Structure 1
Amino acid sequence: MQPPGFHPYQPGFPPPPRRGGGVKAFLFGWLISGFGATLFAGLLVASYDDLSKIGLRVMYVVFALALALAVGSVAGKTGGPNPATYVAPALLAMAATFLGTANGYVFVLLDAGGTDILEAMLEHEPGAPAEFWWKGLKGGIALLGLAVAGGGVFAVGNLVGKRQRQG
């Protein structure tokens, strides 16, 4: 029982600040990651005629870094200072770096040869998009992109979340 006239927040004092929401960080991370993966696949289709293997690798790492900055800043802003809220957005960004490249490969096949080539590829080698991601990016670069995306989201989210708490 509370004493008469007791209020959890006395007049003149603001309520404590909200801590942030992991659900918001997840949803916005999912939206930005999906948009980023689609955008990267579209860039691959638009530039596959002029893109060298080194250009592809550089573009992949730059994409992973840009995605980490975008997803990390939104996750830090919506998730607050709690580092546990950056885990799911980091995993989503890692998945988006992989899916952007693999889907870009599929879109390039569709653009270059139509549905017949895509159907033949999927019938005989259904794992070809993932194989392109691994072999086309030379394994180490593929893993570097995943590390940049995941670690970058966590680092940027942590910085933005701490600044939000201070400011």
Structure 2
Amino acid sequence: MSQPPPYNPYSQPPAMPPSPPGFGAPQQPYAGQPPMQSWQQPPMPPGQPYPQQPMPFGQREQRGHPVGAFFLGYFASVVVSLAYSVLVLATYEDQTRNTPQILYIAHALLNGAIVGTLIGLMARRRSGAWISGAVIAPLGVFFGHTNAVPMIIADISGMAAVGDMMEDDPFIPAKVWWGSHGDTEWISLLGLVLAAAMAWLLAFATGRRR
């Protein structure tokens, strides 16, 4: 019966020293040791962050311009309100009882829609600019109506009558906007609310998609 060869320690390959965790190839288990599971792998040493994935080519962070959006919305509101004042001046002699209210509400919706859309396109996701649109649009509605009053007075009685009005009671345009009957006061407030809501909603909807 043959005997196994005697154990010779010098004939075995030298054992490799373990490498520091996190460097080199992953450590292999010793003979007779079960393989390491994924949750048993040595953790990365501190100070070695994971590599960040670069952004795809051509994609940049979307940034709005809230200041530019504010001035653009303000300019658009002034233009729309001025157009409304000229329209009232051109049609006040032929208007019926309900025509001023209809034009006023239509102006509120149009002013808010234009201001909100422009601010949303330029400011994008800046919520502060959205709120500014909800302030600009009602102001445009108010001044569009009040500016039409001195235009009508000047058309009827001349520019001297406008100067007399400013000396006697400069708040006459605001009083005309508010109305003297109970059925017109709520329409005045409704126009401001509609303009603010329309401006904010369109700025939000347009800015979120940018």
TM-score, length of structure 2 as denominator length: 0.69
Residue 154 to residue 12, structure 1, CA distance change in 2 (3 Å): closer
Identity %, equivalent residues: 25
Aligned partner of 1:148 in structure 2 is 194
The alpha-carbon distance between structure 1 residues 49 and 81, as it changes in their structure 2 partners (threshold 3 A), is same
TM-score norm. by structure 1 comes to: 0.86
Gapped runs of 5+ residues in structure 2?
1-51
**How far apart, in 1, do the equivalents of 2:56 and 2:166 lie?**
66
RCO higher in 1 or 2 (8 Å CA, sep ≥ 6)? 1
1:158 is the counterpart of 2:209: no
Quote the offset at 1:51 in angstroms: 1.4
Residues 47, 70 of structure 1: CA spacing in aligned structure 2 closer, same or farther, 3 A cutoff? same
**Deviation digits for residues 30-57 of structure 1 (CA, Å, limit 9, x no counterpart):** 1101101111110110001011341101
- Report the Cα distance in structure 1 between the residues aligned to 2:207 and 2:95, rounded to whole angstroms: 37
**Bigger Cα Rg:** 2
Which of 119, 128, 150 is matched with 2:172 structurally? 128
The AA in structure 2 aligned to 1:162 is: R
Counterpart of 1:54 (choices 59, 76, 98) is 98
2: CA distance, partners of 1:110 / 1:146: 26
Aligned residues: 157
For residue 77 of structure 1, report the CA deviation from its aligned partner: 0.5
Are the structure 2 counterparts of residues 98 and 11 from structure 1 closer, same or farther at C-alpha, using a change threshold of 3 Å?
closer
- C-alpha displacement at 1:144, in angstroms? 0.5
The 5 A counterparts of 1:1-167 are 10=54, 13-135=57-179, 138-164=184-210
Alpha-carbon shift at residue 18 of structure 1 (Å): 2.2
Equivalent-residue separation in structure 1 for 2:173 and 2:186 (angstroms): 17
**Alpha-carbon distance in structure 2 between the residues aligned to 1:119 and 1:78:** 41
